Amino acid sequence: MFKRKWSIALLILLCGFLYTLAQFVLSTNRLQRQVDSLLPGQAQSASSRRVIFISQELDNPFWRSIEQGALQAAGKFDMNLEYTGPLRINPEEQLSQLERAIATRPDAIIVQGSGESASRNLIDRAESFGIPVVTVDADEPGSHRLFYVGTDNLAAGKEMGQLVAEATGGKGTIGVLVGTPRADSQRLRLEGLRSVVQEYPELKIADIRSSDISRLQASEQTRSLLAAHPELKAVVGFSSLDGLGAMDAAQRLGKKGLLLFAFDDLAETKEAVHKGMIKVTLVQQPLEMGAEAVTLLNDYFHEKAVPDVNFTSISPLGGSGITESSGESGP
């Protein structure tokens, strides 16, 4: 009788021990899952990689093309790409979105560099949390970003300068439109253009205006440029809507013979080039930018070395003896 009671007691103790052990294992597994969700890139499969892509302007055709390239590559590598951005160009909102993205602890962030110290600080904060940040279109020098993918904007500005010098014979006055002077990409393109113009003593830049990446503003600024400098021989636009805006102004004013130089290959821009209304446009490769950014991120996640800077191609469309690029068309 005594032995039977002892056996029952031992069985109860054993059951209690097994129950406690099971609860411990379940609690440990739950805790591990919570830790994994807070530590991006740790013990996660490629299919769970979450990448946030913050554009400069949500529905801008150029940025939608970068998104398209990124989505194609993300599908190939089983990544979850979340695309966002300000409704209109707004550097402060772009930084706020970057800060909010960091707080969600994604596996990586793709964003345009802005050249602002606040941007560098946020990128460095992300890096301190183990979140790699990739810059596209415009770099963020001096930050701890992982790598840059995009146009060599200084070289693009120099190429534009050579195209202008060739078309004008190295003589005359030109006006320049930039999307926004705060953007590093626009600053570098302008720097490249100036470096070439300086080589031609009879070629001058009359003025530089900002279009805020708006076709209407580009048109208004061109009209103002022509009013202030009726001798203008050419207008150069460094963002995607500048050339079309300048064309609108020239048509309204009946300004014939004005040489227009554009950037990117929106459908209307290509049509204007083919009709001779825009002399030349420099075509970037936004699809290539997006695809390359995600592809290199995948290499990084698999512990492969990634280049610090990755320049995508540009090619001129239009002009004397210049043929259309056979590369991927961006906006």
> pLDDT, tens digit, for every residue of 43-88?
444 457 999 999 998 988 889 999 999 999 999 999 999 999 999 8
**Nearest alpha carbon to residue 315 among 276, 287, 284, 288:** 284
In degrees, rounded to 5, the angle at the alpha carbon of residue 225 between the alpha carbons of residues 221 and 226 is 120
The residue with tokens 């030349």 is 280
**Percent of the chain surpassing pLDDT 90:** 73
Phi (first) and psi of residue 131, to 5 degrees: -100, 110
Contact 309, 266 (CB under 8 A): no
The predicted-structure confidence for 245-255, as pLDDT tens digits, reads as follows: 999 999 999 99
Chain centre distance of CA 323: 26
Tokens of 8: 């029952």
pLDDT, residue 197, reads: 98
Single-letter code of the amino acid located at 217: Q
**C-alpha distance from residue 138 to each of 145, 149, 282 (Å):** 12, 8, 16
pLDDT for 38: 46
**Is 60 exceeded by the pLDDT of residue 300?**
yes
Cα 52 to Cα 79, 102, 302: the distances in Å are 10, 9, 19
Q: Is residue 207 classed as helix, strand or coil in its secondary structure? A: strand
Q: Which helix (DSSP H) or strand (DSSP E) does residue 50 occupy?
A: strand 50-54
Cα 316 to its chain centre, rounded Å, is 20
Banded pLDDT at 8 (limits 50, 70, 90): low
Q: What is the DSSP letter of 313?
A: P
What is the predicted pLDDT for the residue at 9? 60
Reported as a pLDDT band with limits 50, 70 and 90, residue 100 is: very high
Which one is predicted more confidently, 250 or 213?
Answer: 250
- In the chain, the amino acid numbered 51 is V
What does the mean pLDDT of the chain come to? 88
DSSP H helix total and E strand total for the chain: 10, 12
Alpha helices by DSSP H, 39-113 = 61-76, 91-103
CA–CA distance from 276 to each of 113, 159, 199, 319 (Å)? 35, 20, 27, 9
Length of the chain: 331
240 in helix, strand or coil?
coil
CB atoms within 10 A of CB 64: 18
| Dist. CA 75–CA 250, nearest whole Å | 44
Residue-level pLDDT at 60: 85
**Which pLDDT belongs to residue 311?**
97
Q: Specify the higher pLDDT residue, 52 or 33.
A: 52
Q: pLDDT (tens digit, 9 = 90+) per residue, 161-204?
A: 999 999 999 999 999 999 988 788 899 999 999 999 999 999 99
| Domains defined for the chain, CATH in brackets | 46-151+286-312 (3.40.50.2300), 153-284 (3.40.50.2300)
At 24, is the pLDDT very low, low, confident or very high (cuts 50, 70, 90)?
low
Render pLDDT for 312-324 as a digit per residue (tens, 0 to 9): 999 999 965 444 4
pLDDT at 114 over 60: yes
